[in-house]
Each structure stands twice: as structure tokens, then as C-alpha cells.
Amino acid sequence: MTDWQALYADRMGGVVASDIRERMKLLDASQIIHLGGGLPDPDIFPYEPLAAASQAIWSDRARARTALQYAPSEGHAPLRQWIADYMTSHGAPCAIDNILITNGSQQGLDFAAKLLLSPGDLAMVEIPSFIGALRAFDAYQPRYIGLPERSEDWRASELGGAKFCYVGPDFRNPTGTTMTLAEREALLDLAAETGMALLEDGCYEQLRYDGEDIPSLLALAIGRHGDIEKVPVLHTGTFSKTIAPSLRIGWIAGPAEAIRKLVLIKQASDLATSALNQMLLLDVVKTGLDASIQTACTVYRARRDAMLRTLEEAMPDTVRWTRPEGGLYIWGELPEGVDGTRFAERALLEHSVSIISGAAFYPARAANVDVRRNTFRLSFSMIGEEPARTGVLRLGALAHEMVSASA
């Protein structure tokens, strides 16, 4: 008898289902103020351009045939070329053979792990890390090692043996913090010394609200090696945050040799990404990506600013939080001894405010990692300033109560 219940029990980091995705099921519960999951705001999706692109495909039978037939596993060639040109114009010179189209960047993370990991291999991750990346890696049963927080502690002698290090240099999920140029250079040094690959999650890099762009690890590595073919970096990108998530279009950029292997993985995993969606996306980004990014940045910058102001107003002095230059997240830290998971549970159950406990963002069984249990993540992407303000005020009152009780 097949024991379905026993299967896979050793994977998924002991988490039954990602907090974030489970909470998405609550979206219909109209009373809840959602500061948890980092869904993009549907108000900024480019409906008219997508409708026009769609109409253009259906009214041209030759294009419609291409849109409905299997696409090449590598992706729709004109879109791959467009992304290669885009990467090139943003400091990372690429050709079409350096690009694989994926179903969002989540699939890029999964494929990179499928390429790089066998059970028991060591995977290095930033601490804390994007839950979705941890779940993608968990499936291949690695052991984890944390990338120490301070680059002064990045010593090859203590950090050797990992197959790769996963990082999100820009406004990363969950902390909202950004790696400095010096840190990026130090990480490239560490990769060179230890022989590990770098898996760079670029999913928020277009969403910068202030400050100066910092070159990606991929761009810096190309600068060092003179050529993308020699770099140790795989870079994932996505249109989920700038155009719309449900087109499910992302990409991996890297050396052509690695991309060829990843194409085999794509082929074996789901054959190809939807040609229809790739064509729709290409039509829209060709003329509209800059405008979409500008709209997103305008909307999210204002929401970030408003949330930071409300935090200042509402939170006890002993609570701290990050001030991200972009992305969708603010990371909060309660005083030592105040539990973030309890804070999140009470916020939801007593105050109808959904946030995510910081503990969810730590890998299971990482020898060198201490879980900071007094942390939580806020997202400012999905709801307007007024309900967000109400939510943060409620969180502030709860934090005052819990901090007082713990004193």
C-alpha cells in the first residue's frame, strides 16, 4: 500500500506549507489587513497594453499558431534576445545563449538547485533568506550553511565546501537590505577562493526608490573575467514585480554551458514556458517596461515612506526596523525575548493584521545559524496607505503591550 502521508515528510524544511502562500488563501477574508505576503498591487498591472498585445496575436493567425504551439525549451527566441539586450544595457553583457526563460524566477531558483545539488551537498544561504528559495532548495535535500551577516566574517577557511551561495543583493526578501559594492566584491572573492557558484536573485532590482544602482554580482563578475562564459554566477530575473506575476515569465542568465544544462532541466521539468505568455510579455516590455517600472516605483515608494512614518509613530522605542531603498519589505526586530511568531499570531488572531514571523525565513538544520526569534516581516506592496496605516497602528499597540509584558 502506498503510504502517501509518509512521502516527502523529510523535505520542505519541516514547514507544512509556506506561510506566505497559505496566507494567500485568506485573500478573500475581507476583514484582514494584509501586511504579510509580498504580492504586487494589481492596480499597477498594464491591462490595456496586455489587452492590445493579446488582440494583436489573435488577429494574426501566423502569430496565433506560434503562440499556441510548443515553444522551444530555451524560450521564445525574440524574448530571449530582448532580455539579453536588456541585461547588456544594464551592465551585464549577454547573448541569447546566456538566457533561459523560466516560469517566474522561482523556477530559476528550483532549476539552479536541481543543477547544483545532490542530497547531502552543502548549500550556503544568506540569513535570513527568501522562504521560496529555501523550499526550492529543500527538495534536493542539502545541508545548509549560513553566509555570515558581516563580510569581515567571510573566511574561505571556514566557509568552504558549499556548492553555491544564494543571495538577493538588492532590497532582499525578507530584510529589505542591500549589499554594498564592497560586500559584493568580497562575495566574489569568497566564491573564487572556495570554488562555489553564486546564485543571484535579481527579482527586486528594478524596484529602487532612492540611492544609486549598484552593479549586480553578474555584472561585477563579467567585469572581472572579461566574459560571461567564465563567471561563477547564475542570475535570476523576473517580470512578476514589474509587469504581472501570472504571465509566469522570468529568466536565468549565466554562462552558455550552464544554460545548456538548465535547458535540459527545463525540458525534463515542463518542456517549455507558454509561448502565448512570452509573446504577450515581449509586446508589452518592448515599449512599456520603463513606464511600468516607473509606475511601480512611484506607488511603492509612497507606501514605503508612509509605512516608515507610521512605524515611527506607532512602535515602542525598543523596536527597530530596516529602511529599504527599494523592494517590497521592511524587517522588524522586537526587543530580545519578545517572540516574533507569537507577535504574528496575535496580530492575526486578535487584530486581523497579517504579517510573517521572522523565524519562517531561516533554513532548517543550519549548523552556524541562530534563528532570531524576535523578528517579523512587513510588506507594503499590496494595500493602500490608509489600511496599511491602520494595520501598523494595531501592530504598534500590540508591540507596546508585548514589550511591557516582557519587561
Could you say which of 33, 87, 96, 244 contacts its own copies (CB under 8 A)? 244
Whether the CB-CB separation of 234 and 253 falls below 8 Å is answered with: yes
Q: Which residues contact 312 (CB under 8 A, 6 or more apart)?
A: none
Q: Would you say 77 or 393 has its CB closer to its own copies?
A: 77
Candidate ranges 10-18, 83-91, 121-129, 339-347; the one touching its own copies (CB under 8 A): 10-18
Q: Would you say 17 or 181 has its CB closer to its own copies?
A: 17
Q: How far is CA 189 from the centre of its chain?
A: 24
Could you say which of 72, 78, 148, 215 contacts its own copies (CB under 8 A)? 72
All cell numbers assigned to 263: 535547458
Residue 99 found at the interface with its own copies (CB under 8 A): no
Residue 314 C-beta: closest distance to its own copies, Å: 29
CA-based radius of gyration for the chain: 21
Q: Would you say 40 or 332 has its CB closer to its own copies?
A: 40
Residue 287 C-beta: closest distance to its own copies, Å: 18
All cell numbers assigned to 28: 478573500
Candidate ranges 44-52, 78-86, 345-353, 385-393; the one touching its own copies (CB under 8 A): 44-52
Residue 138 C-beta: closest distance to its own copies, Å: 7
Q: Would you say 196 or 395 has its CB closer to its own copies?
A: 196
Residue 29 found at the interface with its own copies (CB under 8 A): no
Range 203-242, binding its own copies (CB under 8 A): 232, 240
Q: How many residues bind its own copies (CB under 8 A)?
A: 82
Q: Would you say 90 or 114 has its CB closer to its own copies?
A: 114
The single-letter DSSP state of residue 326 is: B
Residue 70 found at the interface with its own copies (CB under 8 A): yes
User: Dihedral angle at the C-alpha atoms of 392, 343, 400, 24, nearest 10 degrees?
Assistant: 10
Q: Which residues contact 79 (CB under 8 A, 6 or more apart)?
A: 101, 249, 278, 279, 281, 282
Q: Would you say 3 or 212 has its CB closer to its own copies?
A: 3
- List alpha helices for 130-180, DSSP H: 131-138
Residue 349: burial class (beta carbons within 10 Å; 0-12, 13-18, 19+): exposed
Could you say which of 32, 33, 35, 50 contacts its own copies (CB under 8 A)? 50
Range 103-162, binding its own copies (CB under 8 A): 103-104, 106-107, 110, 114-116, 118-119, 132, 135-136, 138-139, 141
Range 321-360, binding its own copies (CB under 8 A): none
- CA dist 303 and 85 (Å) reads 32
**DSSP letter for each residue of 328-380:** SEEEEEPPTTS-HHHHHHHHHHHH-EE-EEGGGGS-TTBTT----TTEEEEE-
Over the window 164 to 203, marking each residue x when it contacts its own copies by CB under 8 A and - when it does not, the resulting string is: ----------------------------x--xxx------
Q: Would you say 1 or 349 has its CB closer to its own copies?
A: 1
All cell numbers assigned to 34: 494584509
Q: Would you say 162 or 402 has its CB closer to its own copies?
A: 162
Residue 54 C-beta: closest distance to its own copies, Å: 5
Q: Which residues contact 267 (CB under 8 A, 6 or more apart)?
A: 73
Closest CA to 202 of 231, 242, 262: 242
Residue 55 found at the interface with its own copies (CB under 8 A): yes
- CA dist 183 and 91 (Å) reads 18
- List alpha helices for 59-178, DSSP H: 61-68, 77-89, 104-116, 131-138
Residue 51 found at the interface with its own copies (CB under 8 A): yes
Closest CA to 189 of 132, 151, 227: 151
Q: Would you say 59 or 89 has its CB closer to its own copies?
A: 59
Range 247-306, binding its own copies (CB under 8 A): 247-248, 254-255, 257-258, 261, 263-265, 267-277
